[in-house]
Amino acid sequence: MDLRDLSVPLPVVGAPMAGGPSTVALAAAVSEAGGLGFLAGGYLTAAELAAQVAEVRRRTTAPFGVNLFLPQPPAVDRAALDAYVASLQPLAGAAGVEVDAWWDDDDVDDKLALLVEDPVPVVSFTFGCPPPEAVGRLHRAGTVVVVSVTTPDEAATAAAGGADALCVQGIEAGGHQATFTDDLGPDTGWGLLALVTAVGHRVELPLVAAGGLMTASDVAAVLRAGAVAAQVGTALLRCPESGAPEMHKAALVDPTFPGTAITRAFSGRRARGLVNGFMRAHPDAPSAYPYVNNATRALRRWARARGNPHGTNLWAGQGFRLARACPAAQVVTTLAAGLDAPAPGDAGTG
């Protein structure tokens, strides 16, 4: 299988943004505009994902993809996790919600079975490399397999595991860092351009570059560095098709949110978002995904229901101030404007 065999006119991929921002409307709009739209399978049940896949097909005949999380059982420091959950209790009491930490596998096996039985053009994976058996099942179904990587070593592992292409994510990216493990410090990671170059020297696979890309010049830069396409997420957050809450969209242009940082406070995994009150109050959250993610779920839902941007995650990449409130199709065409570069469907190697 080859990402370059897809009929995708423009070298722009809509990032899968789990937890609400990615919608059927957003995925379909990106694909209809000539890019490659993605559904975010993370946090959905298999039935919910099936319904979204069916709806995208009703809206567009263009290729699209689905992203799945691969939760890795972490070596959790139970004392640190218990202490963190205990630290949330006063806030939970004031909100009238319960906090509890538990493990779940994100229903990944059932979602994989769905995508084998009812194939989509592309399936990407985040937080690890799928086992060869899973890659083989997807290949037999006619699906291109993409693995998200954050280091050259992860890229080599994914290539050896049968990936058809790599989503190369720099530390500038908003949302969760796609690292295979979560044992890094908050400011540890590769810048995108250096990572694309390094991975391109390590493996011979098409590369999709992701991380802080907001303008046509950003896209051109990663294509010159060797990528076949640019993946954008934050650039789409303010679009009407985005499912991001209005308070999230507003915060992207609110001067009281001056920057981003990487935190484990909301999920127990490193993720980049706008610095807010919850993030500042919990600087030492343990590495314990998805335990922490489940523990904070009710608190985040409570804050969103009340329009409180300081009580929930506001994922955003470093270029967030350049996000525009315009249709997703306009974002895609603007990012590709003036590019004399191959798209995923007709490009050379990464």
User: CB burial class (10 A; 0-12, 13-18, 19+) of residue 322?
Assistant: middle
Residues 6+ apart with CB under 8 A from 280: none
Quick one: what percent of the chain has pLDDT higher than 90? 91
What pLDDT shows up at residue 347?
41
Q: How confident is the model at residue 349 (pLDDT cuts 50, 70, 90)?
A: very low
Quick one: what percent of the chain has pLDDT higher than 70? 95
Q: Domain ranges for the chain, please list them.
A: 1-71+106-242+323-350, 76-104+253-315
What pLDDT shows up at residue 93?
97
Place of tokens 């319904």: 51
What pLDDT shows up at residue 35?
97
- From first CA to last CA, the distance across the chain in angstroms is 15
Q: Where are the alpha helices (DSSP H) in 141-231?
A: 152-160, 192-202, 216-225
**CATH architecture observed for domain 1-71+106-242+323-350:** Alpha-Beta Barrel (3.20)
Q: Tell me the per-residue pLDDT of 41-73, one tens digit each, with 9 for 90 and over.
A: 999 999 999 999 999 999 999 999 999 999 877
Cα–Cα distance, 287 to 181 (Å, whole number)? 10
Q: Would you say residue 345 has pLDDT above 70?
A: no
The whole model's pTM is what?
Answer: 0.94
Q: Tell me the per-residue pLDDT of 241-263, one tens digit each, with 9 for 90 and over.
A: 999 999 999 999 999 999 999 99
Q: Tell me the per-residue pLDDT of 155-167, one tens digit each, with 9 for 90 and over.
A: 999 999 999 999 9
What pLDDT shows up at residue 341?
45
Mean pLDDT rounded to a whole number for the chain: 94
